Structure 1
Amino acid sequence: MNKKNIAMVAASVLALGLLVWAAWPEPPGVETARLTRGDFVRELVEDARTRVRERYTVTAPLAGQLVRPVLKPGDAVGADQVVAEIWPAAAGLLDARSQGEQRERVGAMQATLARTQANLARARVAEQQARADLQRAQSLGQQGFVSSTQQETALLTQQQRRQELAMAEQEVSAATHDLQRLRIGLSQPAASGSGPLMRVRAPISGRVLKLHRDSEGPIAAGAPILDLGDPGQLEIVTELLTEDAAALPAQARATLDHWGGQGQLRAHLSRVEPGAFTKVSALGVEEQRVKAVFDWQDAPPDGLGDGFKMEIRITVQQASGVLLAPVSTVFPQAQGHAVFVVEGGRVRKQAVDLLGRNGQQAWLGTELPEGAVLVTYPPATLREGDRVQPIKP
């Protein structure tokens, strides 16, 4: 083969190589992040409110006319101090039909009373006769003219008549009281405010937290009048999802922000209330929530009162010097989790233990070394051994 032919073959091979190189697909580009070591913290962020520990609601003991309260929210009161006054309500008037029916009931009860009085007179005569028969039998028995059996019969008869007399007396007493009650129903009711003024007293010493009624007017029995408590004895209450509340460690720590002052306040978990409730979220989703109560780590600052809003950050999980990766690198696999590791331009699937995660970081249990390159947001088409081109090493 001459030199000219060799040159043509070489040129053809070179051209073919260039065509193959041009047609060869480039590896897809993927975003990456490195496995680092640091501190991991997982927190729950929720709205919270202050609440007085011991709250007492003073209610109306009877229905009537409430006198205009003189107390205002924040006023101090002492134990047994008068905090409200109520005039008892007047009885309602009867219409003409009800009055006629009541008169008929009074007439019927008068007849019943007369019948029971006649029964009482008859029972009294029968008891006197039985007593005389017993005395006669006992006298004749001492002379031997009457047997002991006859004397026992006379004694039992006398006891029976005495019981009948007692029952007749009770029937007369009951009929008398019923007649009096029916006659009271026919009497003209007194005007409102003519009865004795009822004074409602404070059960504890404290301050007025809330006035449910701040003006004069009719009030029903059991209606709330005001709330009492000590504003210096505050606790923090927040509503958590039941699954988050169940995962809280004992004495969980929390910080309070946006409370109206400078700096953060500290608190710790006191208790999780046992009863959960259903609450509809802003997106219209029904959630099962439960109230968690926190105590102050330090003394609460001045200026806070009952029902003040703030933001609470509850530390659920915390670790130092652990392997951390962006949460976007971890994906579910079978019964666990895995990541894609970039090695020599290719990816390798590596199973990992997800020990914790927050909004940005995932705490991994793995044998991978610190600084390993992981694929973030791995596409669904990525497979073991695929070639990739890291965009961010």
Structure 2
Amino acid sequence: MAVRNHITGKRLFWSLMAALTVVTFAFILRPEPVWVDLSTAQRGPLEVTVREEGKTRVKDRYLVSSPVTGFVHRLELDVGDTVIPGELLTLIDPMPASILDARSRAEAEARVAAARSSLQSIRQKAAAAEADADFSQQEYQRLLALRPSSFVSDEQLQQARTTAARAQAILRSARFDEEVASHELAAAQTRLQVSSATANGGKPAERVAVRSPIHGAVLGLVRKSEGIVQAGEPLLELGDPGTLEVVVDVLSFDAVKLEPGLATRLTGWGGPTLNAVIRRVEPVGFQDVSALGVEEQRVKVIADMLSPHEHWQLLGDGYRVDAEFILWQAEDALQVPASALFRHNNGYAVFKVTGDRANIQPVEAGHGNGLSTVILSGLDEGDRVVRHPERGLNDGDRIRVR
């Protein structure tokens, strides 16, 4: 009996040793945990935007040219100086004019008649624009009065405000065109009258005054010094700095996502954030070369200011701004870093961390801005996921956080 117990004890001892050896080798040979970086699914605001550099420009620009061939006096104005309609810009001493024959006089008279008809046409357009502006303002005031009763949504009120602002801008543009047309008529009449022999035998004009057609500022001086100029030669450029628009060159890939009326945010100009709205996406693209020497197809996008003028009164023509076109936004969305998602079974998935192991978790992904992606289903707030999962990481692998 003692011998049998001794043999049984030895067997038990060696069995335990063998089991311990197997466990030891299994522990030594088991795969090492994969080092990973983790992130947490959390709720918060998210925006999907297209961001590009743009520049401001005056909407209505007017190039003032010499109405006659002659000797122009030196322009005493500087860039940025304000001008009012009818203000004297410079004087031109005409060259000795030739006698107008019957054909030349008839052509000059036809030009005067055409300019007069053009002025009448523009006045009619200005009257129509004024009627549209009055109607848009009345509609906005009507919706504003209904707002406390909750019969009007914020979106309808915003659309009415935008429509009223746009109608006012169109009216100002029409009035500028009317002023320009009236001065074009005056220029045509001057060209008819200034000659060595007028129809009524009067004395020829000895000096022609070039006056401002608009209320605005000097945007550029094409010619400052005195000298001989030809009829139609540009002298200076005028415009109203209070009617700015923003021009943004957008990649054609992003331009197809934009449409008129889309909200835009302007930053990076040295002042507060400004609100704008897309007015036009031009249908024609152009080729540009990036800073890295890559040829790109770009499209010009035009945006109008919505913020009050006092917020951007320091902006001028040709200033740089950063434009963000807001494609989508949410105030409270469950999101994870975009680097945590990967393609899986014709969909998306993440490595969800449970304990010390990472398991593949299929998810339904929504909008993303390149940094974060909205998760519609598959995760809950507070779930931990692996960022930048390595190719060697498999379902159920042990992990270790860096």
Normalising by the smaller structure, the TM-score range is 0.5 to 0.7
Secondary structure of the residue aligned to 1:243 is: helix
Which AA in structure 1 matches 2:214? I
1:391 aligned to 2:397?
no
Which AA in structure 1 matches 2:250? L
Partner of 1:280: 289
Q: Would you say how many aligned residue pairs link Structure 1 and Structure 2? A: 288
Q: Give the structure with higher Rg (CA).
A: 1
Give the % identical residues: 34
Residues 138-149 of structure 1 aligned to structure 2 (within 5 Å): none
Partner of 1:54: 60
| Greater mean deviation of Cα atoms: 266-275 or 229-238 | 266-275
Partner of 1:312: 323
Structure 1, unpaired ranges of 5+: 92-193
Q: Partners in 2 of 1:260 and 1:34 — Cα distance? A: 35
Query: 1:202 offset after TM fit, Å?
Result: 3.2
1:34 aligned to 2:45?
no
CA contact (8 A) 1:254 1:313 kept: yes
Residues 1-393 of structure 1 aligned to structure 2 (within 5 Å): 1-61=7-67, 65-86=71-92, 199-219=209-229, 222-248=232-258, 250-261=260-271, 263-287=272-296, 288-301=298-311, 302-333=313-344, 336-343=347-354, 345-383=356-394, 385-391=395-401
Structure 2, unpaired ranges of 5+: 1-6, 98-203
Secondary structure of the residue aligned to 1:68 is: coil
TM-score normalised per structure 2: 0.62
CA contact (8 A) 1:270 1:295 kept: no
Q: Partners in 2 of 1:274 and 1:214 — Cα distance? A: 38
Q: Partners in 1 of 2:14 and 2:372 — Cα distance? A: 60
Q: Partners in 2 of 1:25 and 1:377 — Cα distance? A: 20
Q: Partners in 2 of 1:42 and 1:278 — Cα distance? A: 26
Q: Partners in 1 of 2:281 and 2:77 — Cα distance? A: 35
Q: Can you list the C-alpha shifts for 1:56-114, whole angstroms capped at 9, x where unaligned?
A: 112345655443222222333343444344456799xxxxxxxxxxxxxxxxxxxxxxx
Which AA in structure 1 matches 2:284? G
Query: 1:218 offset after TM fit, Å?
Result: 4.4
Query: 1:48 offset after TM fit, Å?
Result: 3.0
Change (3 A) 1:21 1:78: closer
Q: Partners in 1 of 2:206 and 2:363 — Cα distance? A: 79
CA contact (8 A) 1:337 1:352 kept: yes
Query: 1:215 offset after TM fit, Å?
Result: 1.2
Which AA in structure 2 matches 1:366? S
Q: Partners in 2 of 1:220 and 1:242 — Cα distance? A: 42
Change (3 A) 1:76 1:249: closer
Change (3 A) 1:283 1:81: same
Pairwise CA RMSD: 3.2
Change (3 A) 1:198 1:354: farther
